[in-house]
Structure 1
Amino acid sequence: MNFVFLLTGLALVFGIGWLISSNRRKIRYKSIGILFALQLIISFLCLHTSGGVKTLAGISSFFNWLMVQAAGGVNFVFGGLVIKPGGSVFFLNVLMPIVFISALVGILNYIKVLPFIIKWTGWALNKVAGMGELESYFAVSTAILGQPEVFLTVKDQIPKLNEQRLYTICASAMSAVSAAMLASYMKMVPGKFVVVAVFLNILSALIISCIVNPYETESNDELVQISKGNKEPFFQVLGNYIVDGFQLAITVGAMLIGFVALVTFLNNTFLALFNVSFTTLIGYVFAPVAFLMGVPSHDIIKVGSLMATKLITNEFVAMGTLHGMTTSLSAKATAIISAYLVSFANFGTVGIITGSIKSISEEQGAYVAKFSMKLLLGATLASVLTGTIVGLYF
């Protein structure tokens, strides 16, 4: 039965992708096959072998340990706050550790560890799948650095890109999540699904681009080097990353306040007028998609609601809701929706990406604005593909 739902999920993704494809005759079936095979291998090793399961458990434990270390700084600054027994402050426990993780990313970037990983992983991905050196580099780097910062590493190339290549790197930026966010995600959803989704999303975004936005890369492309950070003193660079992490936490917190309040308002309004909550209503819209992905029929409304919530608001709002309902969902539904939520595919991110590109090139920013809804749909399909593959093993 799992294999049947793998086929239905793939048919959904390919069918919608084919309908919105810019050039159906040039769909890159070979690259799609190679990338999909890589996804099956990665997901099998991670979720269906004892070594993979232990590795994922180790990675999750490591990030949990990092959260404990981050608590040292958080408690020093906010330790005087009195929290009722059994209580928890989301801002302190989930968002503030982003500052510490961001500092670690800055250190690893400064000492050239991250540039090394990004360069050679991207090189290997390009050699295997033939997606182009820029596209392969960007797909890996955005999963580590996140956006909008990752666009600065290719700021010299962005004005030279055609519309097709611009779509691919933007789709990668929406489908991946930054390393600074992983520990916070793991506070709300099982860590193993976060880690697997990070790997699969890199490939899912490229697969969708092969369908929605097919093109042949040029053979004379040069591998993009990540911008060098050693021109500035170490502590200045570290301070910048810390401040950026704090600003990111504040931004996410502000968005959560606004979006959660908006969803609460809509739920109460719809309950008063129609005797059904807004999230339940939109759950019915996404329920067929959830079913085709392999979610058990008794969970499709709840999962559909979470899928829609992520699209309309952001992944944090949906993860927070999921965290409170995991006991009422089956293991398969939890696995699928957890993997689906690990991406930046939502309306707000479209604005962030458009603004980031526009700040580098006014003309290219206009291109991104023109295909923004197609970009959002493509990134959502990438999340559907990732969730469908994870569901194969539950």
Structure 2
Amino acid sequence: MSALNSILGIVVLLLIAFVLSNNRKAISFRTVIGALVLQVGIGAIILYWETGRKGLLAAAEGVSKVISYGNDGISFLFGGLVSDKMFEVFGGGGFVFALKVLPPIIFFSALISVLYYLGIMQIVIRILGGALQKVLGTSKSESMSAAANIFVGQTEAPLLVKPYIKSMTNSELFAVMCGGLASVAGAVMIGYAGMGVPLPYLIAASFMAAPGGLLFAKILHPQSEQFKDELSDDDIEEKPSNVIEAAAVGAFSGMQLAMNVGAMLLAFIALIAMLNGFIGGVSSFIGYENVRYNHYSVMYSNL
């Protein structure tokens, strides 16, 4: 009965995506079937094959370890403001988003810029993106971005395919955004494991989200334009003269991205707070107390 409910849920979700698709005739059934088969295969490897599970977990931990090196630069700049002492003094208030979440974007951007300069990222995209492309029929760049979301967050993943973004089609851009929202970063996954969530299920969900995000992205906004898998001279910015310049250029780009993320969060959280105040004021006037926009968000999220 449990398996039947799961299959029914998958069918219903696919039907909903099909109904909401902006171009049903362009939907590639190769992508749909390939992504479903890939998800089942990944789930089987993680849940029923111990060696496969350990290998994928090691990969996730390895990427998290690389990203954690950015903490040295953050500690150098902000000192005690990012130490564990802040939690002892302020409790939950010791977590400062602007100091803990945004600075790693700068480090990651610099790292990716160096890897592009050395030609390493091009090889990774050719291999990993090419493998997914052969199975799903998607472009290498959007496939690589989807795979990257297994290990890094939705802000860092697009940095891996940054030179390709300029020439991406609307469908590819939608797939990049959809992949980010469909998954969690490896570091977050490990954090959930520390809270007691069974690790095998977390690993399975994280890795299965990559083809799952592409699956729904390509149903909702299927590819109807010709995509480019190779970079042209127009797509490539002026190449840095050395590794140091590549790191500096990447850091500057990362800083701009981090500032944009911070500005958007500040603005939209403030706007939602204002909306809460407006709804609360109107509801109090007509006799309903403590009504907030958040209440409607929770209510409709269950539909």
TM-score using structure 1 length: 0.57
Amino acid at match of 1:231: K
Deviations along 1:55-77, one digit per CA (max 9) or x if unpaired, are 45434433553454222211211
| Equivalent of residue 142 in structure 1, options 141, 145, 150 | 145
Determine if contact 1:98/1:184 at 8 Å carries over to the other structure.
Answer: no
Q: Is 1:90 aligned to 2:97, yes or no?
A: yes
Amino acid at match of 1:203: P
Q: Is 1:121 aligned to 2:128, yes or no?
A: yes
Q: CA deviation at 1:197?
A: 6.0
Q: How many angstroms apart in 2 are the aligned matches of 1:36 and 1:89? A: 39
Q: How many angstroms apart in 1 are the aligned matches of 2:228 and 2:102? A: 38
Q: How many angstroms apart in 2 are the aligned matches of 1:118 and 1:14? A: 29
Q: CA deviation at 1:246?
A: 1.9
Deviations along 1:330-379, one digit per CA (max 9) or x if unpaired, are xxxxxxxxxxxxxxxxxxxxxxxxxxxxxxxxxxxxxxxxxxxxxxxxxx
Q: CA deviation at 1:7?
A: 2.7
- Greater C-alpha Rg: 2
CA RMSD of aligned residues (A): 3.8
Assess, with a 3 A threshold, how the Cα gap between structure 1 residues 109 and 9 changes in structure 2: closer, same or farther: farther
**Matched residue, 2:178:** 175
Amino acid at match of 1:106: S
Q: Is 1:43 aligned to 2:52, yes or no?
A: no
| Equivalent of residue 261 in structure 1, options 261, 270, 286 | 270
Q: Aligned with 2:95: secondary structure?
A: coil
Determine if contact 1:147/1:173 at 8 Å carries over to the other structure.
Answer: yes
Determine if contact 1:27/1:211 at 8 Å carries over to the other structure.
Answer: yes
**Matched residue, 2:58:** 58
Q: CA deviation at 1:38?
A: 0.5
**Matched residue, 1:354:** none
Q: How many angstroms apart in 1 are the aligned matches of 2:17 and 2:176? A: 18
**Matched residue, 1:15:** 15
What is the 5 A alignment of 1:378-389? none
Q: Aligned with 2:239: secondary structure?
A: coil
Count of matched residue positions in the alignment of Structure 1 and Structure 2: 272
**Matched residue, 1:153:** 164
Gaps spanning 5+ residues in structure 2: where?
149-155
Q: How many angstroms apart in 2 are the aligned matches of 1:67 and 1:209? A: 28
Q: Aligned with 1:153: secondary structure?
A: helix
Assess, with a 3 A threshold, how the Cα gap between structure 1 residues 182 and 102 changes in structure 2: closer, same or farther: farther
TM-score using structure 2 length: 0.71
Q: Aligned with 1:75: secondary structure?
A: helix
Q: How many angstroms apart in 2 are the aligned matches of 1:250 and 1:100? A: 14
Amino acid at match of 2:43: S
| Equivalent of residue 118 in structure 2, options 111, 117, 127 | 111
Determine if contact 1:119/1:137 at 8 Å carries over to the other structure.
Answer: yes
Q: CA deviation at 1:116?
A: 0.7
Amino acid at match of 1:173: V
**Matched residue, 1:204:** 212
Assess, with a 3 A threshold, how the Cα gap between structure 1 residues 102 and 30 changes in structure 2: closer, same or farther: closer
Identity in percent? 26
